[in-house]
Structure 1
Amino acid sequence: MTQRTGGGSVPGGEELVARARDMVPVLRARAAECEALRRVPDATIEDFRKAGFFKIVHPAKYGGYELPPTVFFDVCAEIGRGCASSAWVFGIVGIHNWQVGLFPPQAAEDVWGEDPDVLISSSYAPTGKAERVEGGFRLSGRWSFSTGCDHCNWLFVGGIVDNGRGGRDMMTFLVPRPDYEIDDNWHVAGLAGTGSKDFVIADAFVPDHRTHSMVDAFRIDNPGQEMFPGDLFKYPFGQMFANAIAAPPIGAATAMLELFCDYTKQRGNALGGVTGGSSYAQDPTIQMRVAEADALIRGARLRMRDNFNRMGEFIAAGQAIPLPLRVQARWDAAHITKSCLQAADLIMEAAGGHSLHLDNPLQRFFRDIHAMRAHALNTPEPAGKNLGGFKLGLDNAEIFI
């Protein structure tokens, strides 16, 4: 246990990861229910609360632990070993508790002043309308993919507004539950249990203190810094969010490899006379697939940890995180999902026809990893093009770094 300023104690990182690891069998047992419900079961969200997972990067002023981001990502990956949809919801909803600390301080008081366990969902793509008015903004329109929204009382909404200097700025607006309606339209083939539904805002006023500029986020010049001065809130938003959705694929791919190996050890090979062994475990092509998948998954995890350890060293020294590291880390976050998808494909191609049965967890993890790859920030080409151009002397063209 580690002590928190102001009394009380919080669990250490290893203990939190162990709690997540112990939860894996329960999450696997609930995975079919989660998919059928099209949202994470209430019992799972309550388990996460009791385990303290939502407090990992939550501001200490409101009962959070303010632990290093790597603890959050490691817990998220462990959850992913049990249920990919549950990990996806935890990664996105959980990182929002950190993001509140970037807003003007009154925003945190609005959200947690009466209940520090309140959760927040999001939809950042600026598909609705945002109009500046006296004292704030008016929002209207439809937004999509609000992961975990059934469990949340607040919402982050993306919008584009005039910045008053002849340009445009992408903003995030914080909206309470009475101001939006959820459209239950989440009927999908992958990440079916995430409840990533649309929502509609007819006409909502958002005061200035519940808004945050993505330009400020890029510059790490956030209005919440005076109230939340800890090192945790000095990481770039783009890095925190991108890795929050890169951690679940690590867990899901790890689960696929574990399940495949356990199954293959007992799997007889009817063509053993041709392939050189009575079991598939003796097949060299299977052995190579296992080795390659293992390297892809471990490499993904190590890159994530290394990038955040390096960023943390600069923050601890009171120095700005160098732009080359931020560009590199953003590429790595996107490439992590690509690596995990490659590992999933290697496994599924060798898993045989039984892996297609709906009661086989391999097929669910496989579908979910492919759905994770479909997220815009997990698309490797933009981040890769930016890194390649940057290394070739071009300017950085990415704000989510």
Structure 2
Amino acid sequence: MPNIELVLPKMGESISEATIINWAVSEGDQVQQDETVLEVATDKVDSEVPAPVNGIIKEILVQPDEVVKVGQVLAIIEASSDQSVATTSSSDKKEEKQSPKKANVNPAKSVQKKQKISSSSNKSYTLNENQNTYFSPLIQQIAKDYHISFEELARIPATGHEGRLKKSDVFKYIEEGRPAQFAQPVPEQTGFQVPDLKLDKGKGEIVEMDRMRQMIADHMVYSKHTSPHVTAYVEADLTEMVNWRNANKKAFQEKYGERLTFTPLFVEAVAKAVKDFPMINVSVDGKNIIVKEDINIGMATALPSGNLIVPVVNNADKKSLQEIATNVNDLADKARNNKLKHDETSGSTFTISNVGTFGSLMGTPIINQPEVAILATGIIKKRAEVMEYEDGDKIEIRSMMYLSLSFDHRVVDGFLGGSFLRRVADYFENFDRPNY
């Protein structure tokens, strides 16, 4: 009976590694083909890995909380003798041998190394140790992959030309367990040192962050370190949109079998505005700006756990309202049931965060990297407003909403950011669509 290697499958173009959550089986257990044997997690969603064959789990090679690469062997399965199994082709093995060897850094092992490093070693890593703070796009990408801030990069001893940080410097530092991760900067000129205030954090139940919450925290900190955030605000009168939805949501559901929430209306309007201002639909790569061909709108969505995820409506500018509503409802249902796939949470080029869902008047959202802007929609609130007409001013009850746009001031200036936000508000306000 042949032994079959269970490897971590490819789970999306941008996914290169995953964290083992837990095994559904133990060594010696009998498994059936396509039966779930373990759960893994990436920075986007959790996934199940099925057994490739019928057989017995002979050996488990990785344990929960370990980080593994795509293609890495996770376990050995002793296949049943009554089946033939397609193993890795020789061409694949040849390609694997010829491909450049990547640094195999296991964060789980790094943590163990970190624990062995004395606290005194942290003191040797200071911000003034690396004076050259130019970091190449490659170094920035590695920092993003391992959630290393620019401040921490500046503490890594550099061996490159003119004090530049090299790839080997970063990977050596990671292998050592990132000893300077929490080191305090010690500027030489002023002698000022960030004080350890010994703040009283209080007493109470200690709740450890789950894996996804840690990833969200790292992503948010990375975004604030990377992009100089500026936030602009406008107020929009959504009365016409609200009235149209109230009059048509029942007919829409009867005709298409889909709920008509405000989200599809927002996505449709934002996609139009993005098309009008393509420089909002970009990302930054070093000194280059990548103008995206597709308009993929992400929707920040709360999971049952309270964590946040961003499912994506791809090519939103090319879809009808019915198609967008179907897409939005499907993604929202999958999010609530933790069934989102990797390709449904990747590739967004602009994100909407509906903070009004939680009753917030407005918000100051953090940019979803590598995008350069994010829109927050507040609560729709009825209010008495002064309306101007040819025969005089009148006070009317209107449905008002605050919109806020956080944008990356490296590539989006105030004129572009303000103009784009105003255009979104105009599409919200000048809502004119036939009834169903």
TM-score under structure 2 length normalisation: 0.23
* Structure number with larger C-alpha Rg: 2
Higher helix share: 1
> Which one scores higher on RCO, CA 8 angstroms, separation ≥ 6?
1
TM-score in terms of structure 1 length:
0.24
